[in-house]
Amino acid sequence: MRKDAEPAPAPTAWAPPKPVFDGSRPVGVGPNGPLSKAEQAALPGWGAAPAICLVHPQMGENIGATARAMANFGFSELILVKPRDVWPNPKAWALASGAEWPLESAQVVETAEEALAEKTFVIATTGTPRQLDKPLIGPREAVARMREAMAAGEKPVILFGSERSGLDNDLIIGADLLVTFPVDGRFPSLNLAQSVACFCYEWASGSEANGPPPGWTIEEKPTAPREAFESFFEHWVADLDETRFFWPEDRKGTMVETMRNAFVRGRFTMNEISLIRGALRSLAGGPRRRALETDAAAQRAKLEAWVKARRDNDQSSCLALQTETAKIGQGPLQASYVRSVFDADDGVVIVRDAEGQLGAWMVKLYQGRIKAATYQAFAA
C-alpha cells in the first residue's frame, strides 16, 4: 500500500432493521389474507407466558428459529445468556422470518445468575439422564406446574442449554424441576429451536386460545333434508340405470344399498347435493354423452345400410358367425347373433317379428352373455 493511501475504514457492526409498523411488510396470514405488522401488533395477545432462556446459544440461526416459535405460540420474553456469536446477529433476524419482536426485546446477559435474578420458578431441560434427586417430568406436566406457579404470582422461566453440551450441572441442580421431551431413544438429540417449539406448543395447547382464531372457524352447514337426499339418490340410480351400470341385474339391489349407505354416511349438505346433481347433469348431457349418441347414430346408419343391401338383393338378412335363440324384449325371438360386427365387445342380433318387421338389437356382452341391448326398427 502506498504511504499516502488512506487506511480502509473499519467494518461497521451489523444492526438489526428498525421495526416498521406502517403496514408495508406482511407478517402472518389472517382469514382474509396477509396481516401487516400494524395489524399484527393490534391483535390481542394470548396472555402471560413464561420466559424462554437460552444459555450460551451457539448459532444465530437457532436463536432466530426460537424467536419464530415463540411468536407462533404467544411467547415474547426471550433471555440470551452470552451468545457465542456477535449480537445482534443477522442470521437470527433472517431465520425469524418476520417474528422479530422477541429478538428486538431480548434481554442479553453475561451469566445465568443475571438471567434468573428476578425469576422465582425455574425449570431446566435435559436430554440426557442425570443422577440427581430431582423430579424429572414431561413437557405437559411442566406446563401444568408453570401455570400453577403463575396463578400463584410466581415468575417462571424455562432454561435451554447450548447446542453442543446442554445445561451445566450447576443450573440443573439449581432448578426447581427437570423436564425432558419424549423422544425415540435411538436418536434422542433435539435441535435447540425444535425443543423450544415443542415446549411452546404444549403451552399453547393448554391455553384458552387453543383452537383457530376468531373468524377462522368453518361454519358447519346443516345436513340436507331427507326429501332432497331421496330425490338426489333417485336421480343417481336412474342415471346409472340409463348407462346400464348395474350388472348383473340380480345384484342391482345390493349395489344400490351399498351406495345408499355410503351417501347417507356422508351427511351431504344442500350445496353438496346440488353440486353432485349438477355433475350428473353434465355427464348425462355433456360432450361425452353427445359424442356417444353421435357414434351410436353412425353405427345404426351403418347397420341399416348393411341390412338394406341384403334385403334389396334378396339375400339372407344376416351374416351369421354364430346362431342361437336369444330372449330379447318381450318374448323369445329366433335371432341371428353376429359377433364383432363393429368391435370386440359389441354384437348385433337381426330379427324379423311376426308381422315381418325387420329390426336389429345392438347388444353389449359381458363374459359371453348379453348384458344389455337396444332395439332399432327399420322402415319397410
Sketch the domain layout of the chain as residue ranges.
45-205, 226-285, 298-377
Q: Quote the pLDDT of residue 54.
A: 97
pTM over 0.85: no
Find out if CATH 3.40.1280.10 is the number for domain 45-205. yes
3-state secondary structure (DSSP) of residue 181: coil
Q: How far apart are CA 62 and CA 198, in angstroms?
A: 14
The pLDDT tens digits for 257-295 are 999 999 999 899 999 999 988 888 777 666 656 665 666
The larger pLDDT score, comparing residue 157 to residue 14, is at: 157
The residue-averaged pLDDT of 351-359 equals: 61
Q: Quote the pLDDT of residue 118.
A: 94
Q: How far apart are CA 174 and CA 139, in angstroms?
A: 19
26, 35 Cβ separation under 8 angstroms: yes
Inter-CA distances, 313 with 301, 304, 306, 316, 321, Å: 18, 14, 11, 9, 20
Q: Determine whether 342 is exposed, middle or buried from the number of CB atoms within 10 Å of its CB (0-12, 13-18, 19+).
A: middle
The pLDDT tens digits for 66-100 are 999 999 998 989 999 999 988 999 999 999 988 88
Q: How far apart are CA 96 and CA 194, in angstroms?
A: 13
Q: What percent of the chain has pLDDT over 90?
A: 39
pLDDT-based confidence at 180, cuts 50/70/90? very high
CATH architecture of 226-285: Orthogonal Bundle (1.10)
Type of residue found at 139: P
Residue 281 corresponds to which cell in the numbers above?
347433469
What is the b/e burial string over 140-174, where b = at least 16 CB atoms within 10 angstroms of the residue's CB?
eebbebbbebbeeebbbbbbbbbbeebbeeebbeb
